[in-house]
Structure 1
Amino acid sequence: MNRSLLRRGLASTVLLAAVALAPPSAAVAADTTRVDVDVRAGLAPVATGALGVNHAIWDSQLGTPAVSDLLKDAGVQMLRYPGGSYADIYHWRDHTAPGGYVAPGTDFDTFMAGARRTGAEPMIIANYGTGTAQEAADWVRYANVTKKYNARYWTIGNENYGNGHYGSAWEADDHADKSPKEYAANVVAYAQAMKAVDPSIKVGAVLTMPGNWPDGIVGAGDEGSWNTEVLTRAGSVIDFVDVHWYPGGSSAAETLTKSSHIKDAMFLLRQQISRYAGDNADRIRISMTETNVDIGRNTQPGALFLADVYSELLAQGVFTVHWWNVHNGLGTVSTVAGQTDYNDFGLLSSGNCNADNTVCQPPLNTPFAPYHALKLMGSFARPGDRFIGTGADDSLVSTHAVRRPNGDLSVLLINKDPDNERTVALKYHGFTPAAGAPTVVTYTNGADELTTARTGTAGAQTLAPYSISLVTLRPFDSGAALPAPARPTATTTDRTATISWPSAGPGLKYEVFRQVDGVAAQLGETTSTSLTVRNLEPGKRYTVNVVARDGSGRTSVASPPLTFTTGTPADAPCTVKFRDTNDWGNGYVGSIDITNNTANAMASWTLTFGWPTTWQSLNSGWNATWTADGRTVRVTGDNALAAGATVNVGFVGSYSGPNVLPEVFDLNGHVCTSS
């Protein structure tokens, strides 16, 4: 699937042609998976502290040399303490958690000693549920003034939306008012008190992951959802937002499809931050401090999920991702893909048995499959690397890639088929690999360790069933690339975008690329520092990069990506106002006002729109005739629409992932103005 775009040789203006799927440059067998890797499709850099894991005070192995060394070997760069919901009952000064169990030898100093031995940064959860701003400020003083630990990251509470305000209650919260408004007010108080002690710390607020409960729900007495209220009221004082994600799934196969939700979820979360967090909202970063699976937690599904999800989240700019948990304990035992699964959230075995000692885990600290995947991630995503675009023509093969500062390219290949191997043909864009067999690190189903070998070629690899492979390549030309241009900006209309960027130096030509399924399609080139692209689609999301080229043909690293959405026509013959009027977490009531802006009545009319994702659907509709065909919805009026008149129609929609609302509506063949 060699995706290319017809180029026009214009200096500063280009007409956007339709994206064409050109035939591959070399024949690919029908049973071969094609993987494209494109260094021109730049994504996010890997931040310091990117690879994380939770460490809990009820874990008797917290901070021990054996565990710290295992985490160091896996490349863990950040450790979260004191552990999930326990954070909202934990009092650091006397090392107690009323109502919970605290293991001996797990106090803050022990944790920090283990973190230092691991070489990991701490992520500390301040007690919101049963604590105070003063208690949190005193903890900062002890950590960074008294002990000089330089603990930079502090989150206010854990899953505080689970305090009963929306019906479900698992998170401790002693506040009489359990609304997001009250949480936000306390975030402000905590941040001010904590930063008065150490202004250099970064303070995070708890949000919900788009598409996960209670995202979108407006509680009784609230003015907006949890995320809207918290960002509006506390956005000016926080440095990052913290979300958790347990996507579920009725089978391992379904769970392994959930990584496809991440790009839209991060788009929606950044959209919320931009809309509600006030001035300089771009400074607010995103952390993901808990994730895991429901099926195959200790076996290969958990490993494949970890590698895929960590990679996709980091590629989308999440600065740290944390597995839940280091140790957790035996659950209901089953067999998954031929391997014994202990239903244990932990990376490492707790070494315990069930009540009648008929089933026991492996010896204490034996690594489970996700540990090996995390160790492989430690070899893959290193601070300073930059993720780049990839794409595969097989839904059971996931791909990710990074470009290292020295020019090396590492490609992560995940075969999600439990029964069949895959032959992969790798095609590179903007990169020529050196000759010779590449270094390949592999983790296969049921293996006790990673294997490293020089195998296959840069262009062909064989993936074992249910496996992860990391292919690292040296460039053919090891000359230094030009520095990356700065992140561009865009000014848009419904069908044009003027993309601009600061000069990267004299005598350079710039090429602007659009990302299409992970591969770069050139929009145009210019010697200027802006490019106007025309013939765009209204209401469509675009991600672009800029690459510089000098007179000798050397190219730069791709700029940081810019994602923008075009608008809708300002002078259309119709206007549509769309509202989500009532949301319950996996469905909502949509209201659509349709206005005829012309001087003539419409004797008949049909409104058409498309679901932005595959996990959205129509349940029912009213005030018109509603039909759905795949992702296309048609609304046919029961009566004429008079000149200047407005009609309201409504529907019930369902979603099982991030609920990206439709933005483009077509009335009788004309794109409407949307609001």
Structure 2
Amino acid sequence: MPRSLLPAASAVLLALTVLNAPPARAAADPSPVAVTVNARAALATVPETGIGTNHAIWDSNLGTDATADTLKAAGVKLLRYPGGSYSDIYHWETHTAPGGYVAPNTDFDTFMRGVRRTGAQAMVTANYGTGTAAEAAAWVRQANVTKGYGIKYWEIGNENYGNGHYGSAWEADDHADKSPAEYARHVVAYADAMKAVDPTIKIGAVLTTPANWPDAIVGEGDDGSWNKVVLSAAGSKIDFVILHWYPGALDRAGHVPDMIRLTREQLAAYAGAGADRIGIAMTEFNTGSSSNGTNTQPGALAAADAYATLLANGVFTVDWWNVHNGIGTVTEVEGHTDYGDFGLLSSGTCTADGSVCEPALNTPFAPYYALQMVSRFARPGDQFVRAATDQPKVTAHAARRPNGDLAVMLVNTSSDTSYPVTIGYEGYRPASGAPTVLTHTNGATAITTATSGTATAQTLPPLSLTTLVLRPAASQAGLPGAPGRPKATNVTDRAATITWPAASPGARPIAKYELHRQNGAITEQLGETSGTSFTVGNLTPGTRYTVNVIARDTGGGLSWSSPPLTFTTGTPATSSCSVRLTNVTDWASGYVGSLDITNRGAPLNGWTLSFAWPRTWQSLGSGWGAVWTETGSQVKVVNDPASPALATGATVTVGYVGNYGGPNVLPAVFTLNGTVCRTE
């Protein structure tokens, strides 16, 4: 939605509550932080369109050379238009937005001129709320046939679940039926009409973001949640899905892997055959934390952490909201003025009473340098690899480059502690000597570049972004190519067969392939083979595994890791018990769960069901039908003392309220009196 704070533009402001705790007193001599970088544990490849931002038609500086050149210097590779919720009132042919403000020099051609000068791709949001499929198709014709702009990515509407269907209305929607089913019907019509003009374009549909309102809520008369209904009806017609995320706090990057996991699971469950072709785009992102630093260094650190984590998990673009936004609530954050501005660049605006003014137009705010740092750390074609630390105040990311270089980005969120770090490497041997070090510190107006420290020892200033660029110790010439993307078949509770396309040999023949499992930034070798298939045994039921395959040649040379494969083992095909978990109703921060427990063994005179919450942000609210207790992440459900017996073939149903403050990965493994049950 448009969150413009420019005087002439209307906006919908989110109410966000965040903690603003005072900084802790720094330790006199902090212990070194242990950083682990594992080049064997590969994640996603950096996409061409990874670093993005939003333009809006109420910004008269949208298409200026100064704006384009500043964005280019940050490495911005995708620009979205015409701007949040304005997309659903904007008519491109007349360049009007009834009910909103359209600034001069913001028409489509002006936008595209800026896109080209920036060296970026465009993403266009077609008007769903007050437009038609014919209007959208005409826009594709104008853009790609008449003008030859070659715009690849086209969204159908913006945050259309905010049309009042779930009780809150900020998004324009003239359709009498505001259900997800109606939106899905129009997505199909838009896709057909637009691809009839240009079959090469990619169509995106709006989804709700896991654990963010109104995700998982089922509206009156609907057959399921917004995502289920939209994907079930329109999945075969779309090429990507659209998420928006305003976490409202600065420490939420840890939610990202499950956020993307749950989205992919929904695609697999509802979008039909070939759903793995559908990409995920985060077309609006901002920390959403005005009290903790929207445009000062804390927000920048959170932005860098989130961008790197989203891209490492396979999102193909992350688009900051937005380029110019305007002054908001002015505060002091970490020794600097925070203007409450959600823009990357200053709008040069003042408070209503004129008492405080932003710096000159296009002055970069701190998050601008975060995007610039990420673009220098992880370049298109690089491969993210696992990195981790033992200090919560310090996070780490790493990416391997095609020429053999390795980049490591370290984020120190401490307000007052310079942390020494020691860096250990698995699957990579850096060259001796001082690496290239890029640094951005609190209040700095540029990223500095120096040659300092070593590959294994650095010191991180407080509130800083630091990137090390390392050269490999040995030549990378003649090494084998990376194996192709693995697949898992015959997955049971204890085993899985992994197959992969063969790697291309380098200077020497390939001797074998090694299969490595990721366990955080540590890997364990599950086996090796001279072929391209391996059956892994001794797995744990109901467990999620991420694995990579590496080729080793006859001289011991190692390839890059394959793309990652993630699969989840099941529960026993046969067991003396079975459990069915049903999410009865959900309100995006909690849900009612129902457990059907069936005894398929000998009669029981007393029973205990046990399970664990998968994530730290989950907890038990209440339970019924039995005696419920919770200790840490462990939950025990003991039979009602008045009803201890559970006969062979009998089923007992119990229920609970589960609370969650992040993506809600449901429990998958249950034991009854110590026996692992089949989960149905």
Query: What are the equivalent positions in structure 2 for 1:587-602 lying under 5 Å apart?
Result: 587-598=590-601, 600-602=602-604
Which residue of structure 2 aligns with residue 555 of structure 1?
558
Q: Secondary structure at the match of 1:560?
A: coil
Q: Residue 256 of structure 1 contacts residue 416 of structure 1 at CA under 8 Å; is this kept in 2?
A: no
Which residue of structure 2 aligns with residue 503 of structure 1?
502
Q: Residue 62 of structure 1 contacts residue 111 of structure 1 at CA under 8 Å; is this kept in 2?
A: yes
Could you give the per-residue CA deviations for residues 191-228 of structure 1, whole angstroms, max 9, x where no partner exists? 00000000000000000111111111111001110011
Q: Secondary structure at the match of 2:646?
A: coil
| Offset, 1:237 | 0.5
| Offset, 1:421 | 1.2
Which residue of structure 2 aligns with residue 566 of structure 1?
569
- Which stretch shifts more, 287-296 or 403-412? 287-296
Query: What are the equivalent positions in structure 2 for 1:100-119 lying under 5 Å apart?
Result: 100-119=100-119
Q: Which of residues 353, 358, 361 in structure 2 aligns to 1:361?
A: 358
Q: What is the alpha-carbon distance in structure 2 between the residues aligned to residue 452 and residue 284 of structure 1?
A: 39
Q: Secondary structure at the match of 1:164?
A: coil
Question: Would you say 1:311 and 2:290 are equivalent positions?
Answer: no
| Offset, 1:565 | 0.4
Which residue of structure 2 aligns with residue 339 of structure 1?
336
Q: Residue 609 of structure 1 contacts residue 666 of structure 1 at CA under 8 Å; is this kept in 2?
A: yes
Q: Residue 54 of structure 1 contacts residue 81 of structure 1 at CA under 8 Å; is this kept in 2?
A: yes
Question: Would you say 1:192 and 2:192 are equivalent positions?
Answer: yes
Which residue of structure 2 aligns with residue 651 of structure 1?
656
User: Gaps spanning 5+ residues in structure 2: where?
Assistant: 1-28
Q: Which of residues 482, 485, 499 in structure 1 aligns to 2:483?
A: 485
Could you give the per-residue CA deviations for residues 465-505 of structure 1, whole angstroms, max 9, x where no partner exists? 11000100010112233211011111211011221112325
Q: Residue 513 of structure 1 contacts residue 523 of structure 1 at CA under 8 Å; is this kept in 2?
A: yes
- Which stretch shifts more, 483-492 or 226-235? 483-492
Read off the aligned partner of 1:485 and give its amino acid letter: P
Which residue of structure 1 aligns with residue 257 of structure 2?
263
Q: Which of residues 384, 390, 408 in structure 1 aligns to 2:405?
A: 408
Which residue of structure 2 aligns with residue 616 of structure 1?
618
Could you give the per-residue CA deviations for residues 36-78 of structure 1, whole angstroms, max 9, x where no partner exists? 1111101000111111000100011101000000000001000
Query: What are the equivalent positions in structure 2 for 1:43-54 lying under 5 Å apart?
Result: 43-54=43-54
Which residue of structure 2 aligns with residue 301 of structure 1?
298
| Offset, 1:178 | 0.4
Q: Secondary structure at the match of 1:619?
A: strand
Q: Secondary structure at the match of 2:488?
A: strand
Q: What is the alpha-carbon distance in structure 2 between the residues aligned to residue 114 and residue 329 of structure 1?
A: 20
Read off the aligned partner of 1:330 and give its amino acid letter: I
Which residue of structure 2 aligns with residue 10 of structure 1?
none
Could you give the per-residue CA deviations for residues 554-601 of structure 1, whole angstroms, max 9, x where no partner exists? 111100000000000011100000000000111110000000001x21
Question: Would you say 1:432 and 2:429 are equivalent positions?
Answer: yes
Q: Secondary structure at the match of 1:184?
A: helix
Which residue of structure 2 aligns with residue 91 of structure 1?
91
Q: Residue 414 of structure 1 contacts residue 467 of structure 1 at CA under 8 Å; is this kept in 2?
A: yes
Q: What is the alpha-carbon distance in structure 1 between the residues aligned to residue 356 and residue 65 of structure 2?
A: 28
Query: What are the equivalent positions in structure 2 for 1:180-579 lying under 5 Å apart?
Result: 180-248=180-248, 255-293=249-287, 294=289, 295-480=292-477, 481-491=479-489, 492-504=491-503, 507-579=510-582
Over the matched positions of the two proteins, sequence identity in percent amounts to: 63
| Offset, 1:527 | 1.2
| Offset, 1:30 | 8.0
After TM superposition, the score normalised by the length of structure 2 is 0.93
Q: CA RMSD in A?
A: 1.0
User: Gaps spanning 5+ residues in structure 1: where?
Assistant: 1-28, 249-254
Q: Residue 300 of structure 2 contacts residue 369 of structure 2 at CA under 8 Å; is this kept in 1?
A: yes
Q: Secondary structure at the match of 2:303?
A: helix
- Which stretches of structure 1, 4 residues or longer, exceed 4 Å deviation after superposition? none
Which residue of structure 1 aligns with residue 21 of structure 2?
none
Read off the aligned partner of 1:637 and give its amino acid letter: N
Q: What is the alpha-carbon distance in structure 2 between the residues aligned to residue 165 and residue 202 of structure 1?
A: 27
Q: Secondary structure at the match of 2:236?
A: coil
Q: Secondary structure at the match of 1:182?
A: helix
Which residue of structure 2 aligns with residue 9 of structure 1?
none
Q: Residue 43 of structure 2 contacts residue 564 of structure 2 at CA under 8 Å; is this kept in 1?
A: yes
| Offset, 1:536 | 1.2
Higher relative contact order (CA 8 A, sep 6+): 1
Read off the aligned partner of 1:621 and give its amino acid letter: G
Which residue of structure 2 aligns with residue 630 of structure 1?
632
Q: Residue 391 of structure 1 contacts residue 519 of structure 1 at CA under 8 Å; is this kept in 2?
A: no
Read off the aligned partner of 1:490 and give its amino acid letter: A
Q: What is the alpha-carbon distance in structure 1 between the residues aligned to residue 577 and residue 382 of structure 2?
A: 48
Read off the aligned partner of 1:609 and give its amino acid letter: F
Q: Residue 293 of structure 2 contacts residue 340 of structure 2 at CA under 8 Å; is this kept in 1?
A: yes
- Which stretch shifts more, 474-483 or 133-142? 474-483
